């Protein structure tokens, strides 16, 4: 039995607004619905992922999803939710971004399942051949300036300045809906709640151009507990592209979300059903870490793969688990750099490294973060006497400490020193920013 799409969104907390008659339309027949994706980057980030999940649920409910890459509208820029006009990208960059996003969308939607197979379209295909006079005559005459300026996305920007380019965006997006309605029998547009004004312009344009009824559904914008934008880490956006955000960092992001948000995020960003989620919540009511682990596993597996999930989990245990030298050596260098990010680092040139007379000197230098307060050799000797120092996961012996350093460099360039629960990283010939992480 197919799911009721609106009910599915409702229990997941993914329903913000729906035009009257939307649920009746979806219950009546298989309905074509679309969401637009802005190609201003060569990847979707997790801030966009909630709307992509709407398309996924639409298809799972037996309807036909259309993913529209805004090759034309991406050249203009949507003012919704923006305080200033964006820099416009050149055509070559936009085309490159469109291709990359299309490949990501294909991981979520089924493009070969019969009647409700997903479809990927680019609005440059219909805007490209259209000239400005045709647009004004055939489209612009149907929507008044009064109607357009009444939209919140426009009103908020009129005070600070809004170019005609951005002002026209809602009309361009509206025509997307009208074109899809006429040519693809598309009757539903979806998006984030900040898109309500643009979407309803489309339904109004369809009505005025004689296309009949059209419908709209939006989901709430996902924010952090403090109200700030969700989808960013300290390093910026969390992307779906593994070249931008590694699977390890992606996995770690979900492990570190606020405890209070875990249940909501599990409903929005996973395909687990209601009974399963509620059972997890009951089982781990007193163990939020376990609930976040399930969340991180589900999303990382869906976005990347089971194999990448297992690699991310293995990498997560390098510093915090019982790892061996072989575990570090078998991890690719890019992931290792992510794992080492935040550790206090000391870089030595090859000649500086070779100049250390014994391992005690090396350890003291590596552990000294403030040159005005150097770690004493006596302190290092006491630590080693008490088996308190490891290099590359092996305890440093007294004999090793007095001898010239003779340790195999990880990947030919790293030494990992551990004092108690604190790690220090020595790099040979690589400059890295210093910080400290205690485990």
pLDDT in tens, 73-128: 776 655 554 444 445 667 788 888 888 998 899 889 999 999 999 999 999 899 88
Q: Please give the mean pLDDT across all residues of the chain.
A: 88
Our CA dihedral for 45, 93, 243, 337, rounded to 10 degrees, sits at -110
pLDDT band at residue 385 using 50, 70 and 90 as cut-offs: very high
**Average pLDDT of the residues in 328-335:** 88
Query: Nearest-CA neighbor of 360 among 395, 327, 409, 405?
Result: 405
pLDDT for 291: 97
Judge whether 251 and 300 are in contact, CB under 8 Å. Answer: yes
Please indicate, yes or no, whether the overall pTM of this predicted structure exceeds 0.75.
yes
Residue 270 half-sphere exposure toward CB, CA atoms < 13 A? 23
pLDDT in tens, 282-299: 999 999 999 999 999 999
* Proportion of the chain in helix, strand, coil states, percent, rounded to 5: 50, 15, 40
Distance CA 111, CA 3 (A): 19
pLDDT band at residue 150 using 50, 70 and 90 as cut-offs: confident
pLDDT in tens, 163-183: 787 788 888 889 999 999 999
Query: Nearest-CA neighbor of 427 among 335, 365, 357, 360?
Result: 365
| Range with the poorest average pLDDT among 4-8, 69-73, 419-423 | 69-73
pLDDT in tens, 350-375: 999 999 999 999 999 999 988 888 89
Q: What residues have CB less than 8 Å from 180, skipping those under 6 apart?
A: 32, 34, 66, 68, 121, 186
pLDDT for 298: 98
């Amino acid at each position: 039995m197919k799911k009721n799409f609106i009910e599915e969104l409702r229990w997941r907390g993914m329903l913000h607004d729906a035009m009257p008659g939307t649920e009746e339309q979806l219950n009546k027949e298989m309905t074509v619905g679309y969401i637009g994706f802005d190609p201003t980057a060569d990847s979707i980030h997790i801030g966009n992922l909630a709307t992509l999940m709407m398309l996924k649920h639409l298809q799972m409910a037996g309807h036909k999803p259309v993913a529209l890459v805004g090759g034309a509208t991406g050249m203009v820029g949507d003012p919704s939710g923006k305080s200033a006009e964006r820099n416009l990208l050149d055509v070559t960059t936009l085309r490159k971004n469109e291709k990359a996003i299309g490949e990501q969308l294909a991981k979520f939607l089924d493009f070969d399942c019969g009647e409700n197979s997903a479809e990927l379209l680019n609005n440059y295909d219909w805007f490209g051949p259209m000239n400005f006079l045709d647009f004004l005559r055939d489209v612009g005459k149907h929507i008044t300036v009064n109607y357009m300026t009444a939209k919140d996305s426009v009103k908020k920007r009129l005070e600070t300045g809004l170019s005609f380019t951005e002002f026209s965006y809602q009309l361009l997006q509206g025509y997307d809906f009208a074109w899809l309605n006429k040519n693809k029998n598309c009757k539903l547009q979806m998006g984030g709640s900040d898109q309500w004004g643009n979407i309803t312009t489309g339904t109004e344009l369809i009505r005025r151009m004689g296309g009949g009824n059209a419908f709209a559904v939006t989901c709430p914008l996902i924010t952090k507990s403090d109200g700030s934008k969700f989808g960013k880490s300290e390093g910026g956006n969390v992307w779906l592209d593994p070249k931008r955000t590694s699977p390890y960092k992606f996995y770690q992001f979900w492990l570190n979300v606020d405890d209070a948000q875990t249940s909501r995020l599990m409903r929005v960003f996973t395909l687990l059903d209601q009974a399963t989620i509620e059972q997890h919540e009951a089982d781990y009511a007193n163990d939020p870490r376990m609930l976040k682990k399930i969340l991180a596993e589900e999303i990382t597996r869906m976005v990347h793969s089971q194999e990448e999930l297992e690699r991310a989990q293995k990498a997560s245990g390098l510093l915090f688990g019982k790892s061996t030298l072989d575990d570090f050596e078998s991890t690719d260098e890019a992931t290792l750099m992510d794992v080492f990010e935040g550790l206090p680092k000391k870089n030595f040139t090859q000649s500086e490294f070779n100049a250390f007379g014994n391992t005690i000197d090396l350890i003291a230098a590596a552990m000294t973060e403030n040159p005005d307060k150097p770690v004493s050799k006596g302190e290092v000797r006491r630590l080693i006497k008490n088996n308190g120092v490891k290099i590359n996961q092996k305890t440093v012996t007294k004999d090793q400490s007095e001898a010239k350093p003779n340790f195999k460099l990880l990947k030919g360039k790293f030494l990992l020193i551990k004092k108690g629960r604190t790690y220090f990283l020595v790099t040979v010939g690589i400059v890295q920013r210093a910080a400290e992480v205690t485990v």
